[in-house]
Amino acid sequence: MTDSTALYDLPGPRTRRRHTMYGVLSAAVLLVLLAWILYLLLDTGQFTHTKWMPFEYQGIQKLLLRGLGNTLKAFALAAVLSLALGGLLATGRLSDHRPVRWAATVVVEFFRAMPVLVMIFFIFVALKAQPLTALVAGLTLYNGSVLAEVLRSGVRAVERGQREAAFALGMRKTQVMAHVLVPQAVRAMLPAVISQLVVALKDTSLGFLITYEEFLHAGKLIASNLDYDLPFIPVVMVIAPIYIGMCMLLSWFAGWVSRREQRSPRTDAVTVVTAGPGALLPGGEPPTAPRP
């Protein structure tokens, strides 16, 4: 009898050999591509000592660390404020009062459709705000509007019976949202929330356009230095892995929170024990037989 799964038959020997050949060819193509990129970098002199010399100086290292700290500060402020604004707008979108629901909808649709850079420039130039304030405000308005839709969709995705059962128990709408709908929706919408926070982290690089001294701004100062033969590629090779590492750290944190929520006693189902013959209830009374 041929082994099979519920969805598809397991591949046979010829199919496995074909898949192995595809994997070997794909790996070979990737290696050739990487070798070609490495050859171009070597041919253009991107690994010369002159281009990498700036990173040996303590002043350059402090500049990069200060820029990284400013990036993390802007992201932390924008993330917290975006989550707060998203929760507020999502609550407005779910409100039973039509004027509140319409007002929240207008705000969400307006700021979600507005480009982030336009909002940052408007706040920085028209309102004459400080670079950090303009950057955080622009990121908060945009990402908060997007997160409002994510939160609203997560709450709406909970089964209707959960809401009806909670109301049947006499719970108020605030209690239903806080104790029934939101805890169940958090796990479903957590990947989308983290993805939007990753977008906010990357968008902090827009701060260099309004002279905010963040990580990319520090790299731009180094890359435009004529004394080191414009080390643009080395700067990218230093900054890009750090941005990627921060985004991967956010993704890991989301996975850790998701696994922790799944192991949480609050989310574990209670085991129901069937009473056997002669069993007593907690009060010492025998269980009542069901009526026909």
Residue 119 tokens, joined: 């909002």
Please give the C-alpha separations between residue 169 and each of 173, 174, 175, in angstroms, as whole numbers.
12, 14, 11
**Which pLDDT does position 157 carry in this prediction?**
79
- Identify whether 137 is part of a domain: yes
Residue 31 lies in a domain: no
**106-120, 234-248, 264-278: least confidently modelled range:** 264-278
Domain-embedded: residue 244: yes
The pLDDT tens digits for 18-53 are 889 999 999 999 999 999 999 998 888 888 888 888
The mean of the pLDDT values for the chain is: 83
In whole angstroms, what is the distance from residue 85 CA to residue 83 CA? 6
Q: If DSSP codes are grouped into helix, strand and coil, which group holds residue 229?
A: coil
- Of 137-151, 223-237, 256-270, the least confident: 256-270
Q: Under a CB-based contact definition with an 8 Å cutoff, are residues 149 and 112 in contact?
A: yes
Helix, strand or coil, per DSSP, at residue 9: strand
22 in any annotated domain: no
Q: H or E element: which one contains 207?
A: none
The DSSP secondary-structure symbol of 7 reads S
Write down the residue that tokens 């074909």 correspond to: 18
Q: Where are the alpha helices (DSSP H) in the chain?
A: 13-43, 49-52, 58-93, 98-113, 116-121, 131-156, 160-168, 173-176, 182-203, 215-223, 232-263
Q: What is the radius of gyration, based on Cα positions, of the chain?
A: 28
pLDDT of the residue at 88: 92
C-alpha distance from residue 167 to each of 157, 158, 181 (Å):
17, 14, 12
Q: How do residues 67-83 score in pLDDT, each as one tens digit? A: 999 999 999 999 999 99
Q: Is residue 1 part of a domain?
A: no
The residue type at 140: T
CATH code of the domain in which 124 resides: 1.10.3720.10
Q: Write down how long the chain is.
A: 292
Q: What is the largest CA-CA distance in the chain?
A: 93
Residue the block writes with tokens 């290696």: 31
Confidence of residue 264 (pLDDT cuts 50, 70, 90): low
Place of tokens 């750290």: 249
Nearest to 118 by CA among 206, 10, 23: 206
Instruction: Confirm whether 111 is domain-assigned.
Output: yes
Q: How far is CA 153 from the centre of its chain?
A: 16
| Count of the separate structural domains present in the chain | 1
CB 238 within 8 A of CB 55: yes
Residue 213 within any structural domain of the chain: yes
| Structural tokens at position 12 | 């046979």
Structure tokens at 117: 């850079």
Domain that holds residue 132: 49-262
Rounded to whole angstroms, how far apart are CA atoms 136 and 264? 34
Q: How far apart are CA 68 and CA 214, in angstroms?
A: 6
Residue with tokens 């709406």: 156
What pLDDT sits at residue 169? 80
Tell me the C-alpha distance between 126 and 227, whole Å: 37
Q: What would the pLDDT profile of 92-131 be if each residue is shown by its tens digit? A: 998 888 899 999 999 999 999 999 999 999 999 999 999 9
**In this predicted model, which residue has the larger pLDDT, 8 or 13?**
13
Half-sphere exposure of 174 (CA within 13 A, CB side): 0
Q: What CA–CA distance (Å, rounded) separates 263 from 236?
A: 40
Which pLDDT value is given to residue 226?
67
Whether 267 is covered by a domain: the verdict is no
Q: Where residue 15 falls among pLDDT bands split at 50, 70, 90? A: confident
Contact 97, 86 (CB under 8 A): no
